[in-house]
Chain A
Amino acid sequence: MIQAAAKLSAAGGLRTLQFDASTPLQLSSGAVISPLTVAFETYGQLNAEKSNAVLVCHALTGDQFVASPNPVTGRPAWWPRMVGPGRPIDTNRFHVICANILGGCMGTTGPASLAPDGQPYGLRFPVITVADIVRAQAMLIEALEIPSLFLVIGGSIGGMQAMQWASAYPKRVFACASIASAARHSAQNIAFYEVGRQAIMADPDWRNGEYLAAGVRPAKGLAVARMAAHITYLSEQSLRRKFDRQLQGREKFSFGFDADFQVESYLRHQGSSFVDRFDANSYLYITRAVDYFDLASDFGGQLANAFQGGATKYCVFAFSSDWHYPPEDNRQIVRALIAAGAEASYVEVETDKGHDAFLLEEPAFEAALTGFIDSAASARGLALTGAP
């Protein structure tokens, strides 16, 4: 099934598709990545008509293991509520594909990968965009010989990828679901990402991006980057509900700088567990790609033009307490879809769980997403319950 220019392999639990030098990845900046490797995972069977493929786009620090444990990190599947047998994205019914994004560090070519000279790319890796990330996914889908995707779906920057897909390849996307996302990264979000990048680059172990060659990692800087970003994924209400001002394992203040408060301890844990599984340069490159994302910019500043003329069915989801990609950012997408005459739904879920709500238990979200997927599937002529 795979085109001659690409080679499938599986090593260390990672399935990868390696494109040879005859199929380089052309980047928005004009640079080229070659050879390109895309790591991906699949679940469920592709039907004979090849009409039931779903592409799940992962978020900033996610990976391709959307519905199964990551064999490298040992971490559990990241979206088991939504993807699996009998789940809204039912793997008995759909062929689900999830690829590690370009610039990532779970098998797809990124700054920690070896450049053609045998040394890690480091800062020699070209700056990429969300459009480049999607272009690499499109090369994978083409190589897998899937002419059109039934659904492209993602949360957070996964939603950006889904919209980019529908905008760049309208004929290849039957339905598109964007969850807790935005058509452009806000100044506030660029600011938070910049704090994270500065934390990484201020770590002496970052070594101008060449820490891999030196056998060290900027763990402290990366942990701080993660801590700062993680706050934006929660909400004031959820922090209050979970931690309030509770002290961590003590009755009184230490009158020092230990993690006196539970919220400090929680954030420190988020930071330290992150550095074991994520590459600092990947963090720099991917956050930069997201900073640059402004879907309207290629369309004269008119977002509606990004969606003009396609027949894709859209559903946009937002969460009321999300201040990373607040409802207003999502409503902007919906306004553009309406102006473009696209078939669109918009669901705003009332929750105090903040941005991360899309990964958590939210029955109203699940019910609405199921309704959207089922109606799109019936419009696509897919049976309500698929044979495994």
Chain B
Amino acid sequence: MTLTLVQPEAIAQNTRARVRTDHAVIAGMVRNGAKVLDVGCGDGALLHLLARERGVKGRGMELSQAGVNACVAKGLSVVQGDADRDLSDYPNDSFDYVILSKTIQAVRHPRSVLKELARIGERVVVSFPNFGHWRVRTQLLASGRMPNTASLPNRWCETENLHLCTVRDFADLARELHLDLERAVPISGGQAGAPFAATLWRANWFAEEAVFLLARR
């Protein structure tokens, strides 16, 4: 299988609405016409993008009622559900890709959620804010307080994030679950960088967010 990386600018050009950079990167990782489940799909922006740019057969799961209603009102196939609880309903291998965009840090049990995603999909795409970014590290070092950055905008007592991790932490978890790292893309300042699978240490310092494409071994 060949993967083509769609540059965020290329997608942004034919879109009136602003596309989230991690969404554009994810769109670049997904095969045309694939069957995709977006877990934590929010208002359906990514599913909509994938349907338009990649012609995918998309389904979604979303915790918030407002998000689900917005998705269904747009004509997307989305169910209300909780990643921690409801993934077990999906049969094995029922999707080509299962996507978890900026959600893994907010679930109760990231390890079992990731395991479930890999059971349901042949490939898993996960994006998350990198707690190892130099700005996060230096803020914590210098101020002695929980860092706030563009990717971590909320105070520790107001954030929905439960399990923040670094690029290295996530790579370790993927390895533990026997998932191959097929591609990893750093995002900084709203721009996608060069894939970094071989150079995790560098991404761990310089990626504000990261998008991982994983495959079952």
Identify the A interface with B (CB < 8 A): 313, 315, 334-335, 338-339, 341, 343-350, 364, 367-368, 370-372, 374-375, 378
The 5 closest A-B pairs by CB, nearest first: A375-B75, A371-B73, A346-B79, A368-B72, A338-B89
A367 to B71, CA, bound (A): 10
Given the contacts A347-B80, A348-B65, A348-B80, A372 and B72 also touching, CB distance less than 8 Å: yes
Q: How far is the CA of A334 from the CA of B79 in the complex (A)?
A: 8
Contact A368 B79 (CB under 8 A): no
Taking CB atoms and an 8 Å cut-off, the chain B residues in 52-104 that contact chain A are: 59, 65, 68-69, 71-81, 86, 89-91, 94
Tell me the nearest residue of chain B to A377, going by C-beta.
B75
B77 with A345: CB separation less than 8 A: yes
Majority DSSP secondary structure for residues of B touching A: mixed
Complex CA gap A216/B90 in Å reads 55
Q: Looking at the complex, which one of B65, B71, B86 makes contact with A350 (CB distance below 8 Å)?
A: B65
- Give CA–CA (A368, B65) in the complex, Å: 11
Number of inter-chain CB pairs below 8 Å: 60
Q: Check B72 against A315 for contact (C-beta < 8 Å).
A: yes
Q: Is the CB of A348 within 8 A of B73?
A: no
29 contacts between A and B (CB under 8 A): A334-B79, A334-B89, A335-B86, A338-B90, A341-B91, A341-B94, A344-B79, A345-B68, A345-B76, A345-B77, A345-B78, A346-B68, A346-B79, A346-B80, A346-B81, A347-B65, A347-B69, A348-B65, A348-B68, A367-B73, A368-B69, A368-B72, A371-B73, A371-B74, A371-B76, A374-B75, A375-B74, A375-B75, A378-B75
Flag if A372 contacts B69 (CB, 8 Å).
no
Check A372–B75 contact: CB distance below 8 A. Answer: yes
Task: Give the dominant DSSP class at A's interface.
Answer: helix
Cα distance A189–B79 when bound, in Å?
26
Contacts of B81 in A (CB 8 A): 346
Tell me how far the C-beta of A64 lies from the nearest C-beta in chain B, rounded to whole angstroms: 28
Residues A335 and B78 in contact, CB atoms below 8 Å apart: no
What interface size band does chain B fall in? 20 to 34
The residue from B68, B91, B94 contacting A347, defined by CB atoms under 8 A apart:
B68
Given contacts A346-B79, A348-B65, A350-B65, contact A370 B91 (CB under 8 A): no
Specify which chain B residues have a CB less than 8 angstroms from the CB of A347 in the assembled complex. 65, 68-69, 72, 80
Contacts of B75 in A (CB 8 A): 371-372, 374-375, 378
Q: Which residues of chain A have C-beta atoms less than 8 A from B74's C-beta?
A: 371, 375
CB-CB < 8 A to B79: which residues of A? Answer: 334, 338, 344-346
A339 with B89: CB separation less than 8 A: yes
Alpha-carbon gap, A348 to B66, bound state (A):
10
Which residues in chain B, 88-134, are within 8 Å of chain A measured between CB atoms? 89-91, 94
With A368-B72, A372-B72: A344-B89 Cβ-Cβ less than 8 Å: no
Which of A334, A335, A338, A368 meets B73, CB within 8 Å?
A368
Q: Which of chain B's residues have a CB closer than 8 A to the CB of A367?
A: 69, 73
B69 to chain A, nearest CB (A): 5
Is there contact, CB below 8 Å, between A364 and B69?
yes
A371→B73 CA distance, assembly (Å): 4
Assuming A335-B86, A346-B79, what are 17 further A-B pairs, CB within 8 angstroms? A338-B90, A341-B91, A345-B72, A345-B77, A346-B68, A346-B78, A347-B80, A348-B65, A348-B68, A348-B80, A367-B69, A368-B69, A368-B72, A368-B73, A372-B72, A375-B74, A375-B75
Decide if A339 touches B73 in the complex (CB within 8 Å): no
Are A339 and B91 in contact (CB-based, < 8 A)?
A: yes
A166 → B minimal CB distance (Å) = 15
Question: CA A370 – CA B80 in complex, angstroms?
Answer: 18
**Residues from chain A with Cβ under 8 Å of B86 in the complex:** 335
Residues on the B chain within 8 Å of A341, using CB? 91, 94
